[in-house]
Amino acid sequence: MKTWRPAPSPTRYVLAALPLLLLPGVVWLWARLSERIATTGYDPQAFLAGVALCLALVLAAMLAYMAWCALTLSYTFQGDNLVLRCGGVSHVVPLAGVTGVVAPGAEVKGKPVAVRWRGLTGRVPGYLVGPGHSAQIGPVLALATTAKSGLVYVQTPGLGYALSADRALPFIEEIGKRRADAEEHVAQVAEDIDRSPRVALNGLSAWGYGLWADRAARALMLAALVLCALLFGYMSLVYASLPEHLPMHWNAQAQVDRIGSPAELLRLPVFALAVWLANVGFGWWAQRRERAATLFLLAGAAAAQVVFAAGVLTIVLRNA
């Protein structure tokens, strides 16, 4: 087993430092939120502080994940395979299935390789991880740290990999040598060996990939979360204007049979959030066993937000 590191990039260490730099902001937002609720109660400013705190935590988690990907980026020769690791994702490329290797600056079809990257790929200096498409090569997946002029393109029948191995020419020579050994091994065993690349997941990537990669599940999960956030936002707008004593429940004769305080009404969006968390957890557990059960649970989480919102609106509007 022989491992090649990507070309050095100071951006990797900047990415590792950014989550730590966000921590003081997270602590300040938490203190601000606690102070606001203790002195004023729940109001639009408290809601906005809570949203800002959640967004700061999400941003810190995303930056930490990017830093993990950048710091673990490596290209390892394991037997007859080239294993490209980035965070918790490993792309296993059989060397016998490699159809070509393009050196940095080399031309394909009479032109230097040009790739149109998708989404945010290539937007962060020194962190080129994500999909793209090249007119010469076809679909490309970048797992690199350097600019496109220093990339090595490893081609397979369905996908090309853009790599930024340190000491590119010795890396290409190593691929050529191991490709020949892999082809000789395949010829010796005389078996039909799968030459298609595959993806192996571990750690956080394996934990969340199944649920997040399912478009329907992701849409239901995010839709329910947005509905819950809107319910909290509505409560922040009306909370200060609510009377000290609220009719909370009516019997079959439309008579009030329970009185409560505004703080009790605030429990409804909290319960809605708890339902969302529980259903997402159970949906994640069920996803590998029965996808329909996962979609049912996530749809139930979205429906629960509507039910709790209807309860809040009924109480608030009857007291308007």
Per-position DSSP letters for the chain, written without gaps between them: -EEEPBPP-THHHHHHHHHHHHHHHHHHHHHHHHHHHHHT-S-HHHHHHHHHHHHHHHHHHHHHHHHHHHHH-EEEEETTEEEEEETTEEEEEEGGG--EEE-TT-EETTEE--EEE-TTTT-BTTBEEEEEEETTTEEEEEEESS-GGG-EEEE-SS-EEEE-BSSHHHHHHHHHHHHHHHHHHHHHHT-----S-EEEE-HHHHHHHHHHH-HHHHHHHHHHHHHHHHHHHHHHHHGGGS-SSEEEEE-TTS-EEEEE-HHHHTHHHHHHHHHHHHHHHHHHHHHTT-HHHHHHHHHHHHHHHHHHHHHHHHHHHHT-
Amino acid 18: pLDDT: 86
Amino acid 193: pLDDT: 67
- Tokens matching residue 194: 């799968």
pTM for the whole structure: 0.78
311 pLDDT more than 90: no
Query: Which tens digit of pLDDT belongs to each residue from 95-109?
Result: 888 888 888 888 888
What's the mean per-residue pLDDT of the chain?
Answer: 85
Tokens 């339902």: give the residue. 275
- The vertex-31 CA angle with 229 and 305, nearest 5°, equals 15
Interatomic CA distance for residues 91 and 163, integer angstroms: 12
111 pLDDT more than 70: yes
Average pLDDT, integer, range 110-127: 83
Query: Which tens digit of pLDDT belongs to each residue from 123-141?
Result: 778 888 889 998 888 899 9
Tokens 């159809």: give the residue. 99
Confidence category of residue 275, pLDDT binned at 50, 70, 90 = very high
273 pLDDT more than 90: yes
The answer to whether 89 touches 201, Cβ cutoff 8 Å, is: yes
- The vertex-57 CA angle with 14 and 283, nearest 5°, equals 120
Query: Which tens digit of pLDDT belongs to each residue from 233-260?
Result: 999 888 888 887 777 666 666 666 667 6
Kind of pairing between the strands at 74-78 and 2-4: antiparallel
